[in-house]
Every structure is written in structure tokens, then in C-alpha cells.
A and B are shown apart, each in its own frame.
Chain A
Amino acid sequence: MEPLTWTGALGTILNPVFTFAVLGLILSVAGYVLLNTFENAQTAFGVTANRASGPNSEYVLKFIFPIAAFTILLCAVYLLTGILAPYGTAGIIGELGVRLLPVWIALVVTFYLSITYKRKLGLYGKLFDSPIGMIGFAIVMFWVFTAVFVAMDLIITHDPLGQVSGMKNKVPGTPLRGAEDGDYAHYLLGGDNLARDVFSRVVKGSQVVLVIAPAATLFAFMVGITLGLPAGYFGGKLDTIISFVANLVLAFPVILLFFLLVTPEIRAAGIPIPGTEYIWKVPTIMASILFLFPLVFLVVLFDSRYFTQPAKRNLYVGLTVLIGGYIYLGMAWNADPLGIISIDDGVLIVFVAVVFVNSPTVFRIVRGLVLDIKTRDYVAAGQTRGEGPWYIMLWEILPNARGPLIVDFCLRIGYTTILLGTLGFFGLGLSSESPDWGTTINSGRRLLSVFPHPAIVPALALMSLVLGLNLLADGLREESLKD
């Protein structure tokens, strides 16, 4: 097999055009920004320029959109030829496009459906009125779909842990040595320092990140809400104590906490339970406390609402205790009676550490929101009706605080992704061959100045996901403020 170039045979014709278009785009954008700043400065300092035909920047702006459209069209040509033409014609970019074909289809379907029915979809539909939010949503969904399809064994080209001799640190597009029929013929994005396929590892890594980050954020929100609601609503001593503890955690430098908490030694340490062989290990101690909060939250949520209808209340609370307790036993204690749910110790401590670091910030946000909302008339009305404090907190205040909380949730998933990457970067927690992005960056950085591709690919992946989440949060914030 021939090694693949980035753009393949098509590149000989299209590459010069593409370079030209990109250069034009960069120049016109730079020109626009400079001119615009200059003009703003002129108006700002009272210099009235002689303008017969409006600002010059507007003139430049007219060029930007066609050039940008043309560049995007060229990208689409690369992708389409990759899909239509025989293997290898459109180079690495084309073949990547082919591998990710299910993702493109899913994205197009999602966007088509969402835009068609956007008026019926509430806040989610409103997102499609904001270009920034749409771009963010597209990037996030790209990774979500990638993770889903990788789980269905679609996108991946090689075994993410499999090492092929002779492929160590090979540049992108190197043909697989000793490929047999049925093997994918190239390492599309090259090989890493252990001769594993970089592309497969990155898409596989999206799974690890997209499972741990949102789940950890959700748990942090449960903890923060369960503590923040009473602290803000009741105030007094309770508030002082919880706030002090929260500030204590916040004053702890994150990185030091990780280094102390996420080490193999801590995982082994624990309190021996007298009279038994069992050692209550540190990850289990923390998990058993932190994971209790979602259970408490849900039980109180249903109980405060339905306590006047015992039949319904018993059903909901019973179901929560049964299902939640089952998951709780499996996740925190690794004691699932059926043995289905269990978390590896290394993953558990990472998860717990991330929840622990995030929840004080959520607590502060919730507390601040409650302090603001509890002065509203509808809260006073609820109190006058004789509603209990938990009903007011969970069913009157919480739903009215949802806007800022949803926005913060998106931002926080991004922040959690960064934290997970930081843990991976220092080689803490997850095993060193785990394909998650932080760990991959860590293993790639040693030879960075000679072979940059094994570290750059996961770095760009992580950056794009966080960027997508931030843009999505920005779009959501803008749209929810319009209400």
C-alpha cells in the first residue's frame, strides 16, 4: 500500500485553490478586524473621518462571507470525494470523512429535525435561533455521536490498545505493516510511541470522557443543590457551617488535592472495620458519602410533593430507594447483589475527586440563587398557604433557578473535561494505557518536539469538545435571557 497524503490525488488540483481561499479568508478577516478597531478608535476619540461610502470595514465584510462559503464548499468537496471515490483517492482527510460517515448522517438528521420542529421544543428549540449556540451544539453532538457509534463498533479502524510492530511513531497516513485482508490498510493519524493507532485511540477516548464528565457534573450538581437549597433558604448556623466547609474545599489548590487524593497509596488506605476483614477504603468512604446525596435529593423531592397522597408517595419513594439503592450499592460499595454494576477503583477515585472539587462551586451558585429567589412573592404565597420548607425549595425555588443552572451545567461539563485531562496529564487515576485524552497527551508529550502528532490529535479533540460546550452554554444563556 502507498502511504496516504493529507489530500490524496485530488490535492494536486484542489490544494492550491484551497490554500488561496484560506489565505484570502485570513487576510480579509484580519483586515476587517484591524479596520474595524481603527474605525472604532476613531469614533471613540472624536475624529470624524471623511466617509462618503460608509465605513471601510463594511466594504471588506462583503468579501468575507463569499470566501468563507467557498472554503467550506472546498472542505465538503474533500469529504464527498472521500466518500464517493475509491479508497485512498481523497487522502487522509477524505478517509477520515468516510470513517465518520455515520456521525455526519446523524448530525444532519438531528439538525434537520430540530430546525423543523424548533418552535415546539422550548429552550432546546430556541437554541437553533442562535448561530453560536448551533455551532457549539454541532461540535458537542459530533463527539456524542462519535462516542455512541464507537460503542457500536463503527468508526474505529484498529484496536485502540493493539500494538503493531513497525508502526511506532509513524506519521499520519502510514500504511499498516503486514496488513492482511480485512485489516484497515492505514494508520490514518499515525502511530503513537507504543505503535498504537492514534485515530482509534482518540475516538475511543471520547467515550471515556463523555461518560465520566457529564456523570460527574450531574453528581456534583445533586450534591450542590441538596446542600445549597437549605443553606440559602434557612440561613443561620447551618449556612455558616456548610459555607465554611465549601470555602475550605475551594481554598484547597485543585492540583494538590488531586495529587493527594488520586494516588495508588490512597486507594489502598482505609479504616479497618473492627471484627471483620473488611477495610473501608478512602475511595469507598468518599463515594459512599457523595453518592448518598442524589438518593436523598430524589427521596425528598418526591416526598415533599406527594406526602398528601400516600399511595403515590410510597410508590415513587419506594422505586427511588430500590433502584437508587441498587445503583448506590454497586457504584459506591462495589456490592451489587447481582454483580452487574461495579466501578473500577481507579475510575471511582477519579470520579469522586472530580465531584468533590466541583460541588462547592455549585453549592455557592445555588445558595446565591436561593437567596435571591426566596424574596419573591410566589415564595411568600407558598409560605402563607402553609407549604413545607422542602416543597418550597424543591418545587417553587428550584424550577425558577433552572436557567442559570442549565447554563452552568454546560460550562461545568467543559470544566470537568479539563479537570479529567489534567488528571490524565499527570498520570493520575486512570491506567496509563487508557485511551482518554489527558492520558494520551501525557504519553505523547515526551517526544513532542520530534513526533508531535500523538499528542496534538487528542489535544485538539479535547479543546474542540470544551469549546463546543462553552459555545453551547453561551448560546443557551443568550436565548434564555430573551425570555
Chain B
Amino acid sequence: MGMFILRRVGVMLLTAFCLTFIVFFMTNLYPNLEKLAKTQGNFRMSDEAVVSYLTREGYMAPLPVKYGRWLGVLPNHVSTDEDGKTTGKCIREGVNTPETAPSYCGVIQGEWGYSSVFKDDAGSIISKRLGLTGWLALLAFAVMIPLALIIGVLAGMREGSRMDRSLSTFSIASSATPEYVSGVIFIAVFASSAFGLKWFKGSATSAMDDFTWANITLPVATIALYGVGYVARMTRASMAEVMTAQYIRTARLKGVSFGNIVVKHALRNALIAPFTVIMLQFPYLLTGVVITETLFNYKGFGWMLVQAASNNDIDLLLGGSVVAVVVVLLTQLISDIGYVFLNPRIRIS
């Protein structure tokens, strides 16, 4: 088990390394850098001005060098502008001087860089936005998982029954409704003047400070709806399979009531497979969160990613993708380990 986790963590680090390098490569393509220079300087910069800006800021260095700097294994780039003022990633006015500033300044040292869009430290922006998204995701999960499990168990306990058919159709319909469709319909029906029902708010900006029933219901429902169908279908399949097992038949023949069979015998075994699916929903949630936050103007992690990507904010994008990749790989690891604990028949060698 220890070896397994160690190996998985190794693969995880390698994957994170590769992925950040890809993001690094793509954000550092020359047209992207040119756009960055123009948004930082001015839009009518000449080509020469762009090159000189990029050279001064250290963007023209070879890619592996830049990546090493970002990681913190190579000494950081220090630039001097026309007035002779020295600037660099870890040189902060009032805190240290160019002489005393640390020369290695990257992710390993805990420095996530500087966001060119928000004009702030990338690390603190990411943690703040993640916190906001965490609440939204938590609420969405709190709605989605119980609902999906109940639907799945009810549908799967009698396969082929009318209840199964209607609930399955519902879950198919819900997984056919992506967030941008359900969100648009929800806003139009429940928050627009055209239908006259103004039960909820079409914007969740105020929910960042304070949740209320009116401002958070629609975003949560939007995220939850798309996921419910998928988890419910997996639960249903697993439940239906368990219900055909020999030991369930034995229990029935012994005269155990149907309710006892479902709750005491079938449920525990039927929930093993959905556990994996639920864990793997976390990374999937990210896409949903990006769409929902954009649609409802909730300024969390997803919204931040959109802002960073559309302005080629390299440091923020890299930080964001590290977070996303860690979430994906960590949930995969937890789902594998959890699977072993839930199902003792599986051994990891």
C-alpha cells in the first residue's frame, strides 16, 4: 500500500510537471507574449517596442530557462529600466532591496508570481477565489450527491419497473442539459421580466459576500442538475447489478423484507462503484463552475480562469492550472485508495 501511494504520487508529480510545461509553452508562444506586452504597455506599440519590452522583462529567454525560473530552480530574472530602477519578481519596495532579495524565486519557494490582470500577488488571488468557489461547489455537491444517490437506488432496486423507467429518463434528460442551457433557462424562467416570475436573482455577485436563498439557488441548481443524471445512472447500474447477486436471492428466500434487503444488504455494496464516480466528478465540476460563474457573474476560481486566459495572464494561468491538475490527480488517488477500503476483495500489490 505504501509503495502504491508512493508510486502514484510520483506519477502525479510527473503529470503535473508535464502539464504545467505545456501550459507554459502555450502561454509563452510569441503572439501571446505580444498580446501581453500590448496589454501591459499600450496597444499601439511598434514591433520593436514589443521586442524590447519582452527582452527587458526576461520573456525572450529560452523556454526551459523561463520554466526553470518559474519553478525556482534557476536564478530569477532581474531587469533595470531607463531610470536605473531594478525590478524583479521577488524585489518588493519597502520589503527588500535588489541586493537583499532572494535570487531564486519560484513555485518551490512559494512564490506564484504576479498577476498582470488583477495587479496583485497570484497566490493570494488564487486562494481567495478558490475559497469562493469552494462554497459554491460544496453547496452544489450537498444538493447533487444525496439526490443522485436516492434516484439511483430507487431506480435500480427494481430494474425495468415503471419507476425505474421514469427515473432513468429523468437522469438521461438531466445529463443532456449542459450548464449553459439549464442556466439560461433558469434565468429566463425564474429571474426575467419576460415570464414575470422574479423569484430568484439572475446574478450571484452578491452571493460572494453573503449567501441568500435568492442569489445562490440558481447557480447551485445549474451546477447540480448536470451532474445528478450521471451519478444517478452509475448508481442505478451498480444497484441493479447488486440486486441480481446470489446473496440477495438467499436473503429473499430466507424471508427478509424487501426494505431490509435494500437498506441492509444491497445498499452498502451498491455504493462502492458510485463512490469512484463521485470522486471523479470533482474535476468535472471545474468546467461546470467556469460556465456557471461566468453566466451568473460569481467571481470565483472559474471566473478568474476565464479572465486570466482571455488576457494571457501567464502566472495566474499557471497557478490556476496547477490547482486544477492537483485537484484532478488527488481525486483520482483518493478514489483508488477509497475503493480498496470500501471493497476488501480488491488488493493493490
Q: CA–CA, A469 to B295, complex, Å? A: 26
Question: Closest Cβ of chain A: how far from B161's Cβ, in Å?
Answer: 8
- Chain A, Cβ-Cβ closest to B168: A474
Cβ proximity bits A30-42 to B, threshold 8 Å, 1 near / 0 not: 0001001100100
Interface residues of B in 153-183 (CB under 8 A from A): 154, 157-158, 162-163, 165-166, 168-169, 172-173, 175-178, 180-181
Which of B169, B192, B306, B312 contacts A132, CB < 8 Å? B169
Stretch at the interface among A17-25, A369-377, A445-453: A445-453
Interface residues of A in 392-440 (CB under 8 A from B): 414, 418, 421-422, 425-426, 438
B242: Cβ under 8 A from any A Cβ: no
A358: Cβ under 8 A from any B Cβ: no
A46 and B163 within 8 A (CB) = no
- What are 30 pairs between A and B in contact, CB < 8 Å? A33-B166, A37-B163, A40-B154, A40-B158, A44-B157, A46-B260, A244-B11, A248-B15, A248-B19, A253-B324, A253-B328, A255-B291, A255-B302, A256-B320, A256-B324, A259-B310, A266-B26, A422-B180, A441-B180, A444-B184, A449-B193, A450-B194, A456-B188, A459-B184, A459-B185, A463-B178, A463-B181, A467-B172, A470-B175, A471-B172
- Chain B, Cβ-Cβ closest to A438: B180
A466: Cβ under 8 A from any B Cβ: yes
Stretch at the interface among B30-38, B53-61, B70-78, B81-89: B30-38
Residue of A61, A255, A263, A453 with highest tally of chain B CB at under 10 A: A255
Question: Closest Cβ of chain A: how far from B61's Cβ, in Å?
Answer: 18
A265 and B305 within 8 A (CB) = no
A75: Cβ under 8 A from any B Cβ: no
Q: How many contacting A-B pairs (Cβ < 8 A)?
A: 169
B321 and A256 within 8 A (CB) = yes
A259-B305, A426-B294, A470-B176 as given contacts; A253 in contact with B283, CB under 8 Å:
yes
A248-B15, A265-B31, A449-B191 as given contacts; A253 in contact with B321, CB under 8 Å:
yes
Q: Which residues of A contact B4 (CB under 8 A)?
A: none
B348: Cβ under 8 A from any A Cβ: no
- Chain A, Cβ-Cβ closest to B290: A255
Which of A40, A266, A414 contacts B163, CB < 8 Å? A40
B31 and A266 within 8 A (CB) = yes
A37 and B181 within 8 A (CB) = no
Cβ proximity bits B237-277 to A, threshold 8 Å, 1 near / 0 not: 00000000000000000000111101100000000000000
Interface residues of A in 151-179 (CB under 8 A from B): none
Which of B166, B192, B291 contacts A450, CB < 8 Å? B192
Q: Which residues of A contact B188 (CB under 8 A)?
A: 448-449, 452, 455-456
Q: CA–CA, A264 to B41, complex, Å? A: 20
B176 and A46 within 8 A (CB) = no
Residue of A44, A132, A466 with highest tally of chain B CB at under 10 A: A44
B309: Cβ under 8 A from any A Cβ: yes
A45: Cβ under 8 A from any B Cβ: yes
B194 and A451 within 8 A (CB) = yes
Q: Which residues of B contact A467 (CB under 8 A)?
A: 172-173, 176-177
Question: Closest Cβ of chain A: how far from B154's Cβ, in Å?
Answer: 7
A251 and B328 within 8 A (CB) = yes
Q: Which residues of B contact A110 (CB under 8 A)?
A: none
A381: Cβ under 8 A from any B Cβ: no
A253-B287, A259-B306, A459-B185 as given contacts; A474 in contact with B192, CB under 8 Å:
no
A452 and B181 within 8 A (CB) = no
A247: Cβ under 8 A from any B Cβ: yes
The 3 closest A-B pairs by CB, nearest first: A452-B188, A259-B309, A44-B259
Which of A44, A421, A426 contacts B258, CB < 8 Å? A44
B145: Cβ under 8 A from any A Cβ: no
B23: Cβ under 8 A from any A Cβ: yes
B29 and A266 within 8 A (CB) = yes
A254: Cβ under 8 A from any B Cβ: yes
A268: Cβ under 8 A from any B Cβ: yes
B176 and A463 within 8 A (CB) = yes
A52: Cβ under 8 A from any B Cβ: no
B29 and A269 within 8 A (CB) = yes
Q: CA–CA, A273 to B280, complex, Å? A: 42
**Size category of the binding interface on chain A:** 35 or more
A46 and B312 within 8 A (CB) = no
B325: Cβ under 8 A from any A Cβ: yes
Which of A132, A260, A448, A469 contacts B187, CB < 8 Å? A448
- Chain A, Cβ-Cβ closest to B27: A260
Question: Closest Cβ of chain A: how far from B116's Cβ, in Å?
Answer: 15
Q: CA–CA, A253 to B177, complex, Å? A: 20
A421 and B180 within 8 A (CB) = yes
Q: Which residues of A contact B291 (CB under 8 A)?
A: 255, 422, 425
B202 and A248 within 8 A (CB) = no
B286: Cβ under 8 A from any A Cβ: yes
Which of A269, A448, A462 contacts B30, CB < 8 Å? A269
Q: Which residues of A contact B185 (CB under 8 A)?
A: 456, 459-460
Question: Closest Cβ of chain B: how far from A127's Cβ, in Å?
Answer: 16
B329: Cβ under 8 A from any A Cβ: yes
Q: Which residues of B contact A414 (CB under 8 A)?
A: 176
A441 and B15 within 8 A (CB) = no
Q: CA–CA, A466 to B230, complex, Å? A: 14
Interface residues of B in 1-55 (CB under 8 A from A): 11, 15, 18-19, 22-23, 26-27, 29-32, 34-35
B213: Cβ under 8 A from any A Cβ: no
Q: Which residues of A contact B184 (CB under 8 A)?
A: 441, 444-445, 448, 452, 455-456, 459
B31 and A268 within 8 A (CB) = yes
A43: Cβ under 8 A from any B Cβ: yes
Question: Closest Cβ of chain B: how far from A32's Cβ, in Å?
Answer: 8
Cβ proximity bits A46-74 to B, threshold 8 Å, 1 near / 0 not: 10000000000000010000000000000
A449-B202, A452-B192 as given contacts; A462 in contact with B294, CB under 8 Å:
no
Which of B29, B157, B168, B263 contacts A265, CB < 8 Å? B29
B32 and A269 within 8 A (CB) = yes
Question: Closest Cβ of chain B: how far from A130's Cβ, in Å?
Answer: 11
A252: Cβ under 8 A from any B Cβ: yes
Q: CA–CA, A466 to B182, complex, Å? A: 13
A261: Cβ under 8 A from any B Cβ: yes
Q: Which residues of A contact B302 (CB under 8 A)?
A: 255
Q: Which residues of B contact A254 (CB under 8 A)?
A: 287
A256 and B154 within 8 A (CB) = no
Q: Which residues of B contact A459 (CB under 8 A)?
A: 180-181, 184-185
Q: Which residues of A contact B177 (CB under 8 A)?
A: 463, 466-467
A269-B29, A450-B194 as given contacts; A252 in contact with B305, CB under 8 Å:
no
Question: Closest Cβ of chain A: how far from B152's Cβ, in Å?
Answer: 14
Cβ proximity bits A224-243 to B, threshold 8 Å, 1 near / 0 not: 00000000000000000000
Which of B34, B176, B305 contacts A466, CB < 8 Å? B176
A259-B310, A451-B194 as given contacts; A36 in contact with B294, CB under 8 Å:
no
Q: CA–CA, A459 to B184, complex, Å? A: 7
Q: CA–CA, A36 to B317, complex, Å? A: 51
Q: Which residues of B contact A456 (CB under 8 A)?
A: 184-185, 188
Q: CA–CA, A317 to B260, complex, Å? A: 63
B19 and A255 within 8 A (CB) = no
Q: Which residues of A contact B195 (CB under 8 A)?
A: 452
A421 and B178 within 8 A (CB) = yes
